Structure 1
Amino acid sequence: MSATAKSLPVHPPRRIAVVDDSPAVRQSLRLLLGARGFSVDTFNGADELLVDVKPGDFDCFVIDLKLDGMDGFALLSALREKGIDTPAIMISGWELPTLEASAHRAGFIALVRKPMMDTSLVRVLRDILPG
């Protein structure tokens, strides 16, 4: 009689929404996070995301601070007004002394700085999205 391998539960990939107005950043994060097992949808800006997003569509939002039109803070506020309480991470290349504290006060779980965000972003995602 042969031994049967115990099957482990298969979890669908965690869905991440990346909102950044830079095509290069969106493509880089799609490749980086996709290679780490995440399912990634990218959005050019707040308006593009807000059109159809509903609670439960994503497991985490990765939102740039500086977006055309609505900034990252306003986007998170708009998501919360729609009843979407999904965790959000702010990304930014700006070095403002109070940015991290402001991001936390606004409801972001973390601030990850560009351009060296590959390992730090993945680490934060794995910390907040166990399993």
Structure 2
Amino acid sequence: MPECPLSAIAKPLPVHPPRRIAVVDDSPAVRQSLRVLLGARGFVVSTFIGADDLLGQLSPGDFDCYVLDLKLEGMDGFALLEALRQRGISAPAIMISGWELPSLEVTAQRAGFAALVRKPMMDTSLVRVLRDVLPD
């Protein structure tokens, strides 16, 4: 039986271990929905109620990406990203926010966020952004 011509040119796709995502949001509903949404798409998700919760148990290399809410009790998303960078953590971060503040996207990019995703998030918007910012 002749060999299938496609098998001769097919290249194996790179295989990655599941991407580890840290979600920091003070809303239990948002944390749960993102855990389910991202988990269903193959991400390993850890959720945190706030900055102190994340920073209290964090080591460099723990996560491939950070999803940080803008409004957090005690330390907002901007300050949390700065704290991550001061600890030598260079993984990309995505800001999520339900606030309609003027120029928030520009401010987030200048602060070092890879992207801003507005709440309520459509199922595909955050997943698409994660796939865009995570290297192959």
- 1:11 pairs with 2:16: yes
Q: 2: distance between equivalents of 1:61 and 1:111?
A: 12
Identity of aligned residues (%): 79
Q: How well do the aligned residues superpose, as a CA RMSD in angstroms?
A: 1.8
What does 1:53-68 correspond to in 2, within 5 Å?
53-68=58-73
**How far apart are the structure 2 equivalents of 1:7 and 1:114?**
37
1:39 aligns with 2:68: no
Q: Is the 8 A contact 2:92 2:134 kept in 1?
A: no
The 1:120/1:54 distance shift into structure 2, 3 A limit, reads: same
Give the secondary structure class of the aligned counterpart of 1:66. coil
CA deviation digits over 1:77-97, x for unaligned, max 9? 000111111100000000011
Q: Which of 23, 27, 48 lines up with 2:28 in the alignment?
A: 23
Q: TM-score, normalised by structure 2?
A: 0.88
Question: Aligned in 2, Cα 1:14/1:73: closer, same or farther, shift over 3 Å?
Answer: same
How far does the alpha carbon of each residue in 1:17-72 deviate from its partner, in whole angstroms, 9 at most, with x for none? 00000000000000000001000000000000001212111000000000011000
Q: Name the counterpart of 1:109.
A: 114
Q: Which has the larger radius of gyration?
A: 2
For structure 2, list consecutive stretches of 5 or more residues without a partner in the other structure. none
1:122 aligns with 2:127: yes
Distance 2:94 2:12 in 1: 33
**If the length of structure 1 is used for normalisation, what is the TM-score?**
0.91
Q: Distance in 2 between matches of 1:17 and 1:33?
A: 11
Aligned positions, number: 128
